[in-house]
Amino acid sequence: MLNYITLSPNQQRVLLKSHHIAQAEGVNAASNHSPQAAPSSPPHSPVPHAPTRRHLRAKRRSIAGLTLAALLAALGTSIANVALPSLAREFAVAPAQAQWVVLSYLLSMTATAVQVGRLGDRLGRQRTLVMGMGVFLIATLACAAAPSFATLIGARAVQGVGAAVLVALPLALARDLGGTTRLGAVMGALGAAAAVGTSLGPAAGGLLLELWGWQSMFYGVVPVGLAALALLSRPLALALPDTGTPGSSAIVRGPVRLGTLGLLRDWPFTAALIMNLLVATVMMSTLIVGPFFLAAGLGLSVGSIGLAMALGPAVAAVSGVLAGRVVDRRGATWSTAVGLGIMVAGMLALVSLPVLLGLAGYLIALVILTPGYQLFLAANNTAALMKASRETRGAASGLLSLSRNLGLIAGASVMGALYGAVFDDVVASGGGATGAAFGGAQMAFALGAGFVGLALAVAWSGARTTRLATGEVR
């Protein structure tokens, strides 16, 4: 018997196709017998429907590799933020110039998101992911060894190209691993890793910076990258054929679109991109505005701010996995709406609870907000990827990454500017720093609640279009 796990991905797809053909031939042959004839037994298949223990181990290994890739890309986005003052002193540049350490990474990752997805569709998604991981690691080492500021900026830009691969291709490969029945679970794991990496980056970067200097922030992620490279270099465990259970079509309903242009013309898919942008803007505002509010508004020390911000990754790690299971069980449409509803409640809690309860109110609001975000992220990515054909999953994942990156940039610029403008206005009017911090944070978080409400309206519109297309609404 052929060993399914050790075959290459192309060989696995050939076996899966031959398995479906053999099943169809067996059914046709059985239908040609007379009613008195004994039913023929189904032909033997080299690929069992029930996953073996070896297949389950290989699948866990594959998901772990994709999760580490998503974690690395998120760490690269946020880990350098805390080192900007040190880098400005080290290379004798102005603070505004030091911002390019972050901007060069984000801009290159955003500019190449769709292109790397298409490259994965053309060259093979696993091969492209391994190449992207190699580019990311080499550029990371170049960042740590940079002799000048210009070299550091260039290396960060190249690192951003590698990160674009690490963001887009795991989403596309998740569809190959999860099939139609377990896609939500894989998306939940990837979403949890991205949330943990984004939130954990400043804390980890600050610790490494204090202990061993700014170079250690880059050297520190190399072992994680090598572990991911080792996992991703082995054959991935593709999903077994669907068994036709009643829940296999519960994830998302509606026609599957073929081709990138078809995806962009499809309103539910475009709605997923818009929601992704709006929600990313809101979540980035908590990472930008949050530390300033905790310092100036609640009077926390740097260490206490780090501990408070660490609550988000802890909640995300748990809720992300659970969110994926909910999506698989209840469907993407329902999960998207519920996730956004919880997020609205969380943002309104950020506006009101810190005034009433101080730090405890802020932490309670984070505990409400984070699970809602994880549920939305798993559901939205699942629904969008289910719209793409096998040939366009990389491009679809690239578009999702592009919309998310644009949201992160908008959150860092627009929400940060809004907080700063309100803060300065209150101080100029004679108010204290504490009141100014509360006023700026409340304005930013209230706007964030409005953005999530807008995303909820977009979700309703996309779901209605899907129901119209499937004949559920006339």
Provide DSSP, 152-196.
HHHHHHHHHHHHHHHHHHHHHHHHHHHTTTSHHHHHHHHHHHHHH
pLDDT at 123 > cutoff 70: yes
Question: Which of 256-265, 281-290, 358-367, 382-391 is most confident?
Answer: 358-367
Kindly give the residue spans of alpha helices, DSSP state H, lying in 32-148. 53-78, 84-91, 95-98, 100-111, 113-123, 125-144
The residues, ordered by sequence, that sit 6+ positions from 102 with a Cβ below 8 Å of its Cβ are 77, 80, 81, 84
Q: And the tokens for 51? A: 């996953």
pLDDT for the residue numbered 181? 57
Q: Report how far residue 446's alpha carbon sits from residue 439's, in angstroms, rounded to the nearest whole number.
A: 11
Q: At residue 30, does pLDDT exceed 80?
A: no
pLDDT confidence of residue 125: 83
Residue 107: which of 140, 50, 156, 152 has the closest Cα?
Answer: 156
Q: What is the pLDDT of residue 351?
A: 94
Percentage of residues of the chain with pLDDT beyond 70 = 78
Residue 95 has pLDDT above 60, yes or no: yes
Of residues 114 and 360, the one with the higher pLDDT is 360
pLDDT-wise least confident of 48-52, 205-209, 307-311 = 48-52
Model confidence, pTM: 0.72
More confident residue, 295 or 57: 295
> Which tens digit of pLDDT belongs to each residue from 208-258?
877 888 888 889 889 989 998 888 888 765 544 444 333 333 444 444 444
CA distance 284 to 411: 5
User: In the structure, what pLDDT confidence band is assigned to residue 471 with cuts at 50, 70 and 90?
Assistant: low
Output the pLDDT for position 241.
Answer: 47
pLDDT tens by residue, 324-352 = 888 888 888 899 999 999 999 999 999 99
Token representation of residue 387: 């719209």
In whole angstroms, what is the distance from residue 67 CA to residue 126 CA?
Answer: 14
Which residue reads 């992300």 in tokens?
320
| pLDDT (0 to 100) of residue 261 | 59
Q: Look at residue 19 in the predicted model and tell me its pLDDT.
A: 46
DSSP string, 32-66: TS-TTSPPPPPPP-SS-SSPPHHHHHHHHHHHHHH
Identify the H or E element spanning 453.
helix 433-469
Task: Please name each of the domains of the chain with its CATH number.
Answer: 52-249 (1.20.1250.20), 257-474 (1.20.1250.20)
Residue 157's pLDDT is 94
Question: Angle at which helices 393-410 and 125-144 pack, to 10 degrees?
Answer: 30
What distance in Å separates the CA atoms of residue 365 and residue 349, rounded to the nearest whole number? 5
How many other C-beta atoms are found inside a 10 Å radius of the C-beta of residue 326? 22
Q: What is the pLDDT of residues 416-457, one digit of tens each?
A: 888 888 888 888 888 788 888 899 889 999 999 999 999 999
Question: 393 CB contacts (<8 Å, ≥6 apart)?
Answer: 121, 125, 172, 175, 176, 385
Whether 1 shows a pLDDT value over 50: the answer reads no
Q: Which two tokens stand for residue 141?
A: 């080492």
Question: Highest-confidence range of 3-12, 78-87, 335-344, by mean pLDDT?
Answer: 335-344
For CA atoms 176, 262, 282, 137, give the dihedral sign: positive
Residues 108-120: tens digit of each pLDDT: 988 888 888 888 8
Query: Averaged over 297-312, what is the pLDDT?
Result: 79
Beta bridge mates, 257: 388
Q: Which residue has the higher pLDDT, 264 or 315?
A: 315
Per-residue pLDDT, 455: 94
**Over the chain, what is the mean pLDDT?**
78
Q: Which range (7-11, 48-52, 196-200, 373-377) has the least confidence?
A: 7-11
- Grouping H, G, I as helix, E, B as strand and the rest as coil, residue 257 is strand
Identify the pLDDT of residue 462.
82
Tokens of 332: 């993407």
Contact 197, 78 (CB under 8 A): yes
* Mean predicted confidence (pLDDT) in 29-50: 43
For the segment 45-72, what is each residue's pLDDT rounded down to a tens digit? 444 455 577 766 777 788 888 889 888 8
Query: Quick one: angle between helices 359-386 and 332-357, nearest 10?
Result: 170
Percent of the chain with pLDDT over 90: 23
Amino acid identity at 230:
A
In sequence order, the 6+-apart residues with CB closer than 8 A to the CB of 31 are: none
CA angle 130/327/335 to nearest 5° reads: 120
